[in-house]
């Protein structure tokens, strides 16, 4: 990490030689945005206009894809206070509506998913039918409801930082990652302030019981 930090310092300096105000963005290197990075290029360091980019997913382990919808929401909400306490600008540069790793080739070319036990010999959590390839319109009503609540909880949490970028605008076939179609189906608030389920991070999971 010493080499990474030197690279960040050098990169910031190279940008400043050309422009004194442009924001310089660096990755959190998958280390904690607050506990690890606070104090680095922060207030009092003489460094200006620095932003840290963090990617927040909840699907790349057996434990994560095995979470219930309410557990996904709880974990998402727990990110908000940490983002709010970072000592520099912080943006969630990647996140998704997915609660599974079913998207085609997500775990590597020709590889399956943890969710349906086709990637690793772990636990079976459910079917990837309609999620491996499919459309948002073709998802079950339960999946649509889960996504709608989860998206809004993540917005509530991530907007405690300084911004976010959803991954991605349009996919070849993975509905949980397709922002364009999530918007078309009414699962992603438009405008962004038009929340159907506000305050989940304050009141707890509001998912209807099955």
The model's pLDDT over 139-192, given as tens digits with 9 standing for 90+, comes to 999 999 999 999 999 999 999 999 999 999 999 889 999 999 999 999 999 999
Strand partners, 91: 53
pTM reported for the whole predicted model: 0.94
Strand partners, 50: 24
Is position 175 within any domain? yes
Is position 13 within any domain? no
Burial class (CB in 10 A: 0-12, 13-18, 19+), 25: middle
Strands across the sheet with 89-94, in order? Answer: 24-27, 50-55, 89-94
How confident is the model over 73-132, as pLDDT tens digits?
Answer: 999 999 999 999 999 999 999 999 999 999 999 999 999 999 999 998 889 999 999 999
Q: Structural domain tally of the chain? A: 1
**Residue count (the chain):** 210
Is position 182 within any domain? yes
CATH number at residue 97: 3.20.20.80
Is position 17 within any domain? no
Cα(143)–Cα(100) distance, integer angstroms: 11
C-alpha distances (whole Å) from 110 to each of 90, 104, 124, 128 are 34, 8, 19, 15
């Amino acid at each position: 990490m010493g080499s990474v930090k030197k690279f960040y310092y050098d990169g910031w300096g190279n940008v400043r030689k050309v422009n004194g105000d442009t924001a310089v963005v660096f990755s959190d290197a998958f280390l904690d945005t607050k506990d690890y990075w606070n104090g680095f290029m922060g207030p009092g360091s003489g460094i200006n206009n620095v932003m840290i980019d963090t990617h927040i997913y909840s699907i790349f382990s057996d434990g994560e894809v095995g979470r219930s919808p309410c557990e996904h929401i709880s974990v998402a909400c727990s990110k908000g206070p940490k983002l709010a306490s970072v000592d520099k600008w912080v943006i969630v540069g990647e996140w998704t509506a997915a609660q599974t790793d079913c998207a085609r080739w997500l775990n590597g070319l020709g590889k399956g998913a943890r969710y349906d036990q086709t990637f690793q010999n772990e636990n079976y959590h459910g079917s990837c039918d309609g999620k491996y390839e499919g459309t948002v319109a073709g998802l079950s009503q339960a999946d649509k409801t889960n996504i709608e609540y989860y998206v809004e909880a993540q917005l509530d949490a991530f907007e405690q930082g300084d911004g976010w970028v959803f991954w991605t605008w349009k996919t070849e076939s993975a509905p949980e990652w397709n922002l364009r179609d999530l918007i078309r189906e009414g699962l992603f608030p438009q405008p962004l302030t038009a929340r159907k389920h506000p305050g989940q991070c304050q009141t707890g999971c509001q998912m209807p019981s099955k």
